[in-house]
Amino acid sequence: MLFDLHVHTDLSPCSRLPVAAILANARRRGLDGVCLTDHDTMDAGRLVREGVQDDGLCVIIGMEYATPEGDILLFGPFEGLRPGLSAREVLSMAPAVGGVAVAAHPFRSWRPAGPGILRHERLLAVEVENGRNRPEENLAARRFVANRGLLAVCGSDAHSLEELGRVPLRIEAAIRSRADFVAALLAGNCRLAGDLPHCGAGASPRGRRDRPGGAACMV
């Protein structure tokens, strides 16, 4: 399934993309799923029924959480998460509650991720391609992830309809719910859809090296 992992509805103050426009256009842009990742809120879940829509599009509610050390994409049971936590607090808590934390656009010149995110031992995944980054910023993220045992993911970071679906992630599993989505990331069952399928053979995300054969998404 092709997912856009990182999309802002107009609940984010910087976005002009209504939920209705996302729902109306995602399928025709080739997407099977979208993750709504507004800044510091999961209130998009009040506007759309999470899960599979009538047209087959799977909608997942996530969040892009701001910390003093950079932004973290969160997928899991994070409704009600209070603002202002440190990166260390968020990254320690996420796996403990069955969620996934992703370092968002870690090498972007504005709002990069600091060492409190990138060096955290519980960090699972890194956004190595972000649709709003410059090419050299994405390249730096790919270089960072290489050989570190981190899961490589991507997202458009759409704040407008034109950006929706630009950087899709291929999930190698049937996703019908947030739990399915989180499980797929934890298992490393994804790869950058724009890439040749060079990643995966024998690789698996950090902490899961004891699971040979997982089609992990590593660069």
Q: Is 38 in the site for Zn ion (CB under 5 A)?
A: no
Task: State the binding string over 64-103 for Zn ion (x if CB under 5 A, else -).
Answer: x---------------------------------------
> Torsion angle, CA of 177/183/185/191, rounded to 10 degrees?
-80
Residue 70 vs 76, nearer CB to Zn ion? 70
Q: Which residue is nearest to Zn ion (CB)?
A: 14
Q: In the bound complex, what is the minimum distance in angstroms from residue 6's beta carbon to Zn ion? A: 6
Using the rule CB under 5 A, give the single segment among 14-22, 75-83, 90-98, 201-209 that binds Zn ion: 14-22
Strands 169-171 and 151-155: unpaired
HSE on the CB side for 177, CA within 13 Å? 4
User: Under DSSP, is residue 24 helix (H, G, I), strand (E, B) or coil?
Assistant: helix
Q: Retrieve residue 65's tokens.
A: 């959480």
Closest CA to 44 of 33, 29, 60: 60
Quote the CA–CA distance of 29 and 166 in Å, as a whole number: 9
With a CB cutoff of 8 Å and minimum separation 6, the contacts of 18 are 9, 10
Q: In the bound complex, what is the minimum distance in angstroms from residue 9's beta carbon to Zn ion? A: 10
- Give percent helix, percent strand, percent coil of the chain, each to the nearest 5: 25, 25, 55
Q: Is 14 in the site for Zn ion (CB under 5 A)?
A: yes
Q: In the bound complex, what is the minimum distance in angstroms from residue 162's beta carbon to Zn ion? A: 15
Task: State the binding string over 132-171 for Zn ion (x if CB under 5 A, else -).
Answer: -------------------------x--------------
Using the rule CB under 5 A, give the single segment among 11-19, 82-90, 187-195, 197-205 that binds Zn ion: 11-19
Give the residues lining the site for Zn ion (CB under 5 A): 12, 14, 64, 157
